[in-house]
Chains A and B, each alone.
Chain A
Amino acid sequence: MYTYTEFDDAFVRERVAQFRGQVERRIDGSLTEDEFRPLRLMNGLYLQLHAYMLRVAIPYGTLNGAQMRQLAYIAERWDRGYGHFTTRQNIQYNWPKLSDVPDMLSALADVGMHAIQTSGNTIRNVTADHFAGAAADEIEDPRPVAELLRQWSTDHPEFQFLPRKFKIAITGSPNDRAVTRAHDIGLRMVRNDAGEPGFEVIVGGGLGRTPMIGKTVRDFLPKADLLPYVEAILSVYNTLGRRDNKYKARIKITVHETGIEAIREMVEARFAELRPEFTGADQEVLAGIEAQFAAPEWAKVSAAPFEAAYTNDPLFRSFADTNLAAHRNPDYAIVSVSLKAHGATPGDATADQMRTLADLAERYGHDELRISHEQNVILPHVPKGHLPAVHAALKAAGLATANIGLASDIIACPGMDYCALATARSIPIAQEIATRVDELKLEHDIGALKIKISGCINACGHHHVGHIGILGLDRAGVENYQITLGGDGTETASIGERAGPGFSADEIVPAIERLITGYLDLRNSPDETFLAAYRRLGAEPFKAILYPQEKEKARAA
């Protein structure tokens, strides 16, 4: 894992000191709110519905035990004893006091963390595959490149006032777990004909009010060209991006209006100018970072306890079948810890739970943790022999829910329970769906299903790429929920299609129940997932399930 250099540490601490002064000047009246607002946003501090909210970056979703423990400490010392993990690998504190925020940032700096560029029209936290460095299907760990991008983009003078915010996601695996096709820039590691690793560069993806699947601007980019190429894309966007209309300012609109061919020409031309300026300093830095991300020394642990528990303990077997993923070392497993206990708030972890996770990482998992964009926590490196002990500890902490990738593993934005931009609530809908799914005892039968809920059109809950997406809106002063179907955020990405008229808060959970139970009758075998069935059959049979009264009307007519 990357450890801050003296430069990083000094930089982050200087920002904390600056912000401390800015908060003091706001409170003593020297700064107006209009003057202060951009300063607090540069440091991740929002004013939400009921309180301030501090958004802390977890670069490429990677944490060690000490950092997780510090997040727990901050939650207890200055907040309400919990934190909310988001769809962009950040953690949000929902109740900080303005006067406490500099101390919170200082506590973050103590463990090499910050809240810089988690807001504003800048390059945001660079996200990565949450199985990075551990996945069996990985070409290379993408996190050194992500860290290079973090260092390059932090306080980059040319990119502090972009037309709009800018999000980069990166994966080192062909199976895309980082939603790279729905980011401003998506980087997918691939090999060329000579077998060398490089990147497919995707540009102009995004969700929000105008969802777009990103387009490939370069099929294969050698690794050494990455920084100048990304800089060339940003440079073209900075020139062309529309500053006249906030709703048309993201690069997805620039690409759409300009055309990918013209964008490619401009990017390549700018790249040709920039490339000679990169004379190798970036590659030296990258080599230093790569050394810090060397794989841990794998331990030799007997798998016998795993085999015994798998045979004898049905709870453990269910957990193992659902929450484990293949590790690059066959003696290890990747453990996904669900923050989606049925009826709980998706993505929330208490300080005690965070400490349990920190303990487990330190004791059994080479001191590594990941946060997924699906709002769960990952123990990426656990020897199989330790899994029964890990499971027992998770169970005691209320963290052993065996539902990863299933119907109750729902992504939900904070919605109108917290967010000032929201048009409807998300959290209670997620809680009610998960509770109902648990009552039905069907989710393991239903299998892989991604339900994603956003409380407004900005789509923080990724509803466009949910197999079932739910969008909460305000329809004439009443909460109303629109359903989209067939979305997909992986390497086979697609935007979900709107199913029809929306549902009230009372109707939406029964509607989802109709969909998922109805799908069981539509699939051609238990192996055909909801998404596969939707792609085979099209929208009509699913619409008929959602709107049975329409079918009746049609029959009567």
Chain B
Amino acid sequence: MSRRFTPKVVTANDLIEGDVVYLSSNDVWVRELHRAELIDDEAHADLRLLHAQGQPGIVVGAYLADAKAGPNGPEPVHFRETFRATGPSNYAHGKQEVSPHRA
């Protein structure tokens, strides 16, 4: 029996800014984890990852990260993904900065 598939999101870093990005269901790269597409199906996850890896001009290092459903959308499972989703704990930099120009 193969291991049960746990839900995933496709995540990567933006090529220019390096910021953490997630693939949404309508093929847009978003900066917030809760707007990402939560993928329940393994075959679909593989396809979505291939789609992400086919965009080297936009993102770097795409991979599938474990996530779980929350009231506002996907939430991290592992603390590493929590830090990626929220930014560093010593300064309000990165995702904690108010940046109206960002999607």
Cβ A50 vs Cβ B61 within 8 A: no
Given contacts A97-B17, A99-B16, contact A49 B83 (CB under 8 A): yes
Contact of A97 among B16, B60, B95 (CB under 8 A): B16
Q: How many whole Å from B79's CB to the nearest CB in chain A? A: 6
Cβ A98 vs Cβ B80 within 8 A: no
Chain B residues with CB below 8 A from A48, complex form: 18
Chain B residues with CB below 8 A from A322, complex form: none
Q: What residue in chain B is nearest A477 (Cβ atoms)?
A: B78
Q: How many whole Å from B25's CB to the nearest CB in chain A? A: 24
The verdict on A332 contacting chain B, using a C-beta distance below 8 Å, is no
The complex places the Cα of A345 from the Cα of B83 at a distance, in Å, of 17
Cβ B19 vs Cβ A47 within 8 A: no
Cβ A52 vs Cβ B18 within 8 A: yes
The verdict on A263 contacting chain B, using a C-beta distance below 8 Å, is no
Cβ B20 vs Cβ A50 within 8 A: yes
Chain A residues with CB below 8 A from B93, complex form: 50, 80, 94-95
The complex places the Cα of A25 from the Cα of B78 at a distance, in Å, of 35
Chain B residues with CB below 8 A from A33, complex form: 56, 60-61
Cβ A427 vs Cβ B90 within 8 A: yes
Contact of B87 among A50, A96, A479 (CB under 8 A): A50
Cβ A27 vs Cβ B90 within 8 A: no
Range for the number of chain A residues in contact with chain B: 20 to 34
Contact of B15 among A49, A98, A417 (CB under 8 A): A98
The complex places the Cα of A427 from the Cα of B91 at a distance, in Å, of 11
The complex places the Cα of A511 from the Cα of B80 at a distance, in Å, of 24
Cβ A50 vs Cβ B95 within 8 A: yes
Q: What residue in chain B is nearest A82 (Cβ atoms)?
A: B91
Interface centre among A26, A51, A98 (most CB of B within 10 A): A51
Q: How many whole Å from A44's CB to the nearest CB in chain B? A: 14
Q: How many whole Å from B9's CB to the nearest CB in chain A? A: 16
Cβ B90 vs Cβ A477 within 8 A: no
The verdict on A508 contacting chain B, using a C-beta distance below 8 Å, is no
The complex places the Cα of A98 from the Cα of B90 at a distance, in Å, of 23
Chain B residues with CB below 8 A from A99, complex form: 16
Cβ B18 vs Cβ A418 within 8 A: no
The verdict on A29 contacting chain B, using a C-beta distance below 8 Å, is yes
The complex places the Cα of A99 from the Cα of B57 at a distance, in Å, of 13
1/0 per residue B45-86: CB within 8 Å of A? Answer: 000000000001100110000000000000001111001100
The complex places the Cα of A47 from the Cα of B17 at a distance, in Å, of 10
Given contacts A98-B15, A477-B79, contact A425 B84 (CB under 8 A): no
Given contacts A47-B60, A95-B93, contact A479 B17 (CB under 8 A): no
Interface residues of B in 1-51 (CB under 8 A from A): 13, 15-20
The complex places the Cα of A29 from the Cα of B54 at a distance, in Å, of 12
Chain A residues with CB below 8 A from B20, complex form: 49-50
The verdict on A431 contacting chain B, using a C-beta distance below 8 Å, is yes
Cβ A98 vs Cβ B16 within 8 A: yes
Cβ B79 vs Cβ A417 within 8 A: no
The verdict on A302 contacting chain B, using a C-beta distance below 8 Å, is no
Chain A residues with CB below 8 A from B16, complex form: 27, 97-99
Q: Hey, which bits of chain A sit against chain B, CB under 8 A? A: 26-27, 29, 32-33, 47-52, 80, 94-99, 345, 416-418, 425, 427-428, 431, 474, 477-479
